[in-house]
Amino acid sequence: MTAVVYGVGTSLFGKQPERSLAMLTADAVLEALAQAGISEVEAAYVGNVFGPPGLGQSLLSGLGLAGIPVLNVENTCASGTTAFAEAVHAVNAGRYERVLALGVEQMTAVTAGAIEPDANDAEGKSGLALPSIYAMAASRYMACYGLTVEDLAGVSVKNHRNALGNPRAQYRGDYTIAQVLSSRMISDPLTLLQCCPISDGAAAAVIGAPRNIPTDIRVLSAVVRSGRLWDSRSAHVWGYELIRDTARDAFEAAALGPADVDVLEVHDAFTIAELVGTEAIGLAPLGEGAKLVSSGHTAIGGAQPVNPSGGLLSRGHPVGCTGLAQVAEIVWQLRGEAMQRQVTNARIGLVETLGGGTSGLDGNGCVVAVLST
Amino acid sequence: MTAVVYGVGTSLFGKQPERSLAMLTADAVLEALAQAGISEVEAAYVGNVFGPPGLGQSLLSGLGLAGIPVLNVENTCASGTTAFAEAVHAVNAGRYERVLALGVEQMTAVTAGAIEPDANDAEGKSGLALPSIYAMAASRYMACYGLTVEDLAGVSVKNHRNALGNPRAQYRGDYTIAQVLSSRMISDPLTLLQCCPISDGAAAAVIGAPRNIPTDIRVLSAVVRSGRLWDSRSAHVWGYELIRDTARDAFEAAALGPADVDVLEVHDAFTIAELVGTEAIGLAPLGEGAKLVSSGHTAIGGAQPVNPSGGLLSRGHPVGCTGLAQVAEIVWQLRGEAMQRQVTNARIGLVETLGGGTSGLDGNGCVVAVLST
């Protein structure tokens, strides 16, 4: 069986400490159920990283979805997409006909700045927060491939401009490369506008068995892998191999290749991450991801738009929610409901989420899903 | 397909802050893989409540199980059994042929006493920690059904005595009812020896497709439900209805009834919980669970032994691990490998785990699994 997405929904994204996890969840779940045209599900998978134990049961019971099996799923930044993938597989297996996948996070309750590294692991001991880890990847790319700071900034310009068409995004703006580069330095070479913000938000998808509704979106594959992101013996930067292997599996399961994809949401936690991600997915050869941006290939209107929502950089990054926010964007794009940021003739979409880095060398996961009209 | 358990393993249980999550995990996983006779699995489900993000990926990569899909699953005290159930369903669905379910927790890193209630929820606002919630259930039972403090203490006597045959248990002892009642009062009527201890530990099960090995144990059903434990409108105490409904579903899926079960591991976080649990599972009518203990029905050597391992009260309660420690005990019993505490002619076993209470009225789950030779 090929599971389909009946409907998606999200909250607004941004710093909104006055809105509880329950309120954010209600926004996302009620919208997803309404679009799906159903009021009940048989099970739920809930992606969250920093909330209290039993969170999913509590949130969903508050919406009248009590009694069902609820699985709280944690896979760092990929928690939302992991919940989505597990829900898809449960439907594919015939366990359920209607399942909810929810991602929700209130980052403002956790930190005011970058996520604190775990003092017990190698990054923590080295004093490396996530911006520094990504900055080291960017520096290595600059040394290896001649990447320039302008190349990096181009990702931020594109994604902030895309978010001008996304009323739910946390930030948006028509910046120049010079403006991106002159924003406050966070970790050289990454400036403020090249780092995803601290965000609160929720996103949901209702997944079910195929039915005769043409706007339902098919899930051709949804692959979860774990792996080592940070390996001094590797010829590649943080995350490249894990994304590459996960995308390869996802394309194989979908019987498609990178050239078939019309629109992508890629885990651009920092500008360098979109470049590494698009290369690892196979849109460009190693070291040539920046050309996808400078040529307009990944702009809305280009051949393969990446992060039309604004991505993590502009839409925001409520950690456990992000994967499902990406799924929601791709579903809207494939349904032709993405308003000013609509990609024309989008038939095949891809979501990539990379998680890890706060808990040791190996506490990492990647999810890639391929969706289709 | 009916998934089978190839092998189980556990660490020792107890306060062991000097042993890391990785060391506890290695004990459990290596034993389970050895008993299973395999060295690799295709995926892993990891139950844990209080550890850092990305825990499963980190722990399993350290054991050479890298690259596979890892799902960190949280369902409060039922996290381990939830991981087990999800692994079973993944095998039943044909997604994988060999899956690891792991539960691990280091409670000594979290608290020295009772788990702190969440200040944002109703119990927390009322100052109720878990011992007080269970004490209120015990008081209500005493008022409704004539339950005595001696009836409650009988559960503790039985389970501590059972643990004399379990070298991995945290505590054991040949106590009298008077000794149990004269131990320090924690929350009236529950004395110290009627409360599960703070524990560290890990337990694992390797689950796979049926193969031609007679010691493999069949999983006839594994049901996860969520629900409200604490409802002032209910005629029943905390947890009764959720356990009853989950057990009913598990028996229906297994095409068996309560009378068919030869040995049980029941979530005796406090003495009252075993009495409510055995009634809700259907071993005795409402209010008559204590007779199961006083008559010897649930003793080792009785018709339906409950908690031959010593249960949470004596084996210990490393929260996210507990469900898989229960599964391990039932598998050993059904394989005839439970040494001095072996239940004779055990063919059908049942595990019940109840989670919740630290995060709101509704942040709760129950898992019941039925296993068979």
pLDDT digits (tens, 9 = 90+) for B155-164: 999 999 999 9
Give me the interface pTM, i.e. the ipTM.
Answer: 0.86
pLDDT above 70 (res A363) = no
Q: Is A1 on the interface with B (CB under 8 A)?
A: no
Rg (CA), chain B: 19
Percent of chain B whose predicted confidence (pLDDT) is above 90: 83
Structure-derived torsion over alpha carbons of residues A59, A60, A64, A66, reported in degrees to the nearest 10: -120
Q: Could you report the per-residue pLDDT of B252-281, keeping only the tens digit for each?
A: 999 999 999 999 999 999 999 999 999 999
User: Per-residue DSSP letters for A106-126?
Assistant: EGGGT-SSSPPPPTTSHHHHT
Which distant-in-sequence residues (6+ apart) come within 8 Å of A165 by Cβ? Answer: A300, A308, A338, A339, A340, A341
Q: Is A125 on the interface with B (CB under 8 A)?
A: no
Q: What angle do CA B64, B81, B244 make, to 5 degrees?
A: 170
What mean pLDDT is reported for chain B? 93
Burial of B356 (0-12, 13-18, 19+ CB in 10 A): buried
pLDDT tier at A231 (50, 70, 90 boundaries)?
low
Q: Is residue A75 predicted with pLDDT exceeding 50? A: yes
The percentage of chain A sitting over the pLDDT mark of 90, rounded to a whole number, equals 83
A62-76, A197-211, B336-350: least confident range: A62-76
User: Residue A2: CB partners within 8 Å, gap ≥ 6?
Assistant: A92, A210, A218, A219, A220
Partners of A57 on chain B (C-beta within 8 Å) are 75, 226-227, 356, 362-365
Measure CA B11 to chain center.
15
Q: Which of residues 205-244 of A touch B (CB under 8 A)?
A: 223-228
- 10 Å Cβ neighbour count for A257? 11
Q: What is the mean pLDDT of residues B120-140?
A: 80
Stretch B226-230: mean pLDDT: 74
Residues of A in contact with B93 (CB under 8 A): 89-90, 92-95
**Cβ contact, residue pair A363, B75, below 8 Å:** no
A77 included as an active-site residue = yes
Check residues B349 and A111 and name the one with the higher pLDDT: B349
Report strand pairing: B217-226 vs A70-74: unpaired
Give residue A85's pLDDT band: very low, low, confident or very high (50, 70, 90).
very high
Give the tens place of pLDDT for each residue, B302-319: 999 999 999 999 999 999
CA nearest B208: which of B45, B327, B98, B102? B98
Q: Nearest residue on chain A to B70, judged by CA atoms?
A: A226
Calculate the alpha carbon distances from B303 to A217, A230, B16, B254, B331 in Å.
54, 55, 35, 20, 18
Q: What percent of chain B has pLDDT over 70?
A: 94
CA distances from A250 to A206, A247, A256, A367 (A): 21, 5, 9, 9
Task: Tokens for A41, please give them.
Answer: 């599900």
- Answer whether A162's CB lies under 8 Å from A339's CB: no
What would the pLDDT profile of A96-134 be if each residue is shown by its tens digit?
999 999 999 999 998 877 777 666 666 666 667 888 889
Question: What's the pLDDT score for residue A362?
Answer: 62
